[in-house]
Amino acid sequence: MRWVLAPDSFKGSLDAADVASAMRQGIERADPRAECVLRPMADGGEGTLDALHAAVGGQWLDYSVCNASGVEQSVSCLLLPDGTVVLEVARIIGLPDAGDTPVTQRSSRGVGQLLLALLADGYREIAVALGGSSTNDGGAGCLVALGLQLCNAQGESLQGSLQDVLDFQTLACEPLRGKTAQVKLEVWSDVENPLTGEQGATAVFGPQKGVAMADITRFDAGIAHFARQLDTGMGQSASHLPGSGAAGGLGYALQLLGGRMVSGAQAVASHIGLAQAVAEADWVLTGEGRSDSQTLSGKAPACVAALARSSGVPVSLLSGAIIADDAGRLAAAFDGCYSLCNRPMVLDVAMQEAAHLLAQQAEQLTRTILAARSLPNAR
């Protein structure tokens, strides 16, 4: 049998390449003659660059930029063989690196610094993978790094943190205008939330970044005011666009610059040639740390399943945890959904044993499929 193994990472446990390797180990225990094609996946969040590099290679580019707290750091982005440079927001302003810095003091400036450096070095095809940010500044920090001028009541320049968005009095867009006019800019995300409102960046994603419930309305209103002023200054509106609320408003800022919002999972699948690999497979296996009804909203396993369905190839889901939805949509999307947890276990143990459990479950799935295929009436 020819297998295509296209899992996402198991966050905090295994990266996507390691998940695929564990799956292969189990499959080959059951069927030493199996041909396994590894295509580790991602959906635009943490691990996107690693998945791309594992599948197609590329050249790492290193730059010095600020993290969300303003501390200088070295960050790698990936130049793909087709000439596209992909940068991963989680590597620049990721939540684990924010430390104790209050969310009001965090800024997306490092993302703008990296874009500016890439432009200076002549790169004109750039993709920004948005997932995993720790900021909620409406993308102001990124835009300030690219030329936007924000000033307070005293005329002092501001750097674009959430607090600066709340405090600014004037802004000047002219230095920003046309900055990315000659750039093919893609924005990779699985989020379609608007910038503000009940489904906006602050209300939906702010609490997990440290926004107190009592501050949501005030912060949201401040970002809405900032966006109105900026839209007026730029002569266009992006705050209403789907995905503008991604990464604390970076989706807004990048679309305002002309960026095209693309499904992160679909973009990764395209770059790694997943559709062709799936079309040539007998069976496809995907997975993630936890699967539930949200999996079908643009996550990597859903993208893999859609490609398999379009090619008429069976596809199964092998995840750390499976939370079935009442409507049965998750189960209907796959040819079997399998959880790693084969006994009662705490999360820490499940994460530590993930590779072993993956191999074990993949082996049992393979044995079942082989047995079924050996029946007289099997096709």
Residue type, 107: S
Q: Do residues 196 and 137 lie in contact, with contact meaning Cβ atoms separated by under 8 Å?
A: no
Mean pLDDT of all residues in 346-367: 91
Q: How many helices (H) and strands (E) does the chain have?
A: 14, 15
Instruction: Give the pair of three-digit tokens for residue 136.
Output: 């909620």
**CA–CA dist 227, 57 (Å, integer):** 38
Query: How many CA within 13 A on the CB side of residue 376?
Result: 0
Identify the band that residue 250 occupies on the pLDDT scale cut at 50, 70 and 90.
very high
**Quick one: average pLDDT of 32-48?**
94
Please determine, for residue 378, whether its predicted confidence score (pLDDT) is greater than 70: no
pLDDT category at 348 given cuts 50, 70, 90 is confident
Q: What confidence tens digit (pLDDT) does each residue in 166-199 have?
A: 999 999 999 888 888 889 999 999 889 999 999 9
Statement: residue 221 has pLDDT above 70: yes
Model confidence over 231-243: pLDDT tens digits?
999 998 899 999 9
Examine the pLDDT at 379 and tell me if it is beyond 60. no
Angstrom distance (rounded) from CA 198 to CA 216: 10
Task: State what percent of residues in the chain have pLDDT above 70.
Answer: 99
29-38, 216-225, 298-307, 317-326, range with the lowest pLDDT = 317-326
Q: How far apart are CA 240 and CA 235, in angstroms?
A: 14
| DSSP reduced 3-state for 266 | helix
Q: Is the pLDDT of residue 303 over 70?
A: yes
Instruction: Give the pLDDT of residue 345.
Output: 74
Q: Which has more pLDDT, 345 or 85? A: 85
- pLDDT of amino acid 287: 96
Report the alpha-carbon distance of residue 97 to residue 134 in Å, rounded. 8
What does the pLDDT read at residue 308? 98
Contact 241, 165 (CB under 8 A): no
Do residues 251 and 178 make contact, with C-beta atoms less than 8 angstroms apart?
no
**Which tens digits make up the pLDDT trace of 80-113?**
999 999 999 999 999 988 889 999 999 999 999 9
pLDDT of residue 186: 97
Higher pLDDT, 341 or 15: 15
Helices (H), 44-160: 48-56, 89-93, 109-120, 140-145
3-state secondary structure of 306: helix
How many whole angstroms separate alpha carbon 32 and alpha carbon 347? Answer: 32
3-class DSSP state of 347: helix
| Domains of the chain with CATH codes | 2-41+277-373 (3.40.50.10350), 48-265 (3.90.1510.10)
Using the predicted structure, report yes or no on whether residue 342 has a pLDDT greater than 80: no
CA distances from 124 to 56, 59, 225, 236 (A): 20, 16, 32, 23
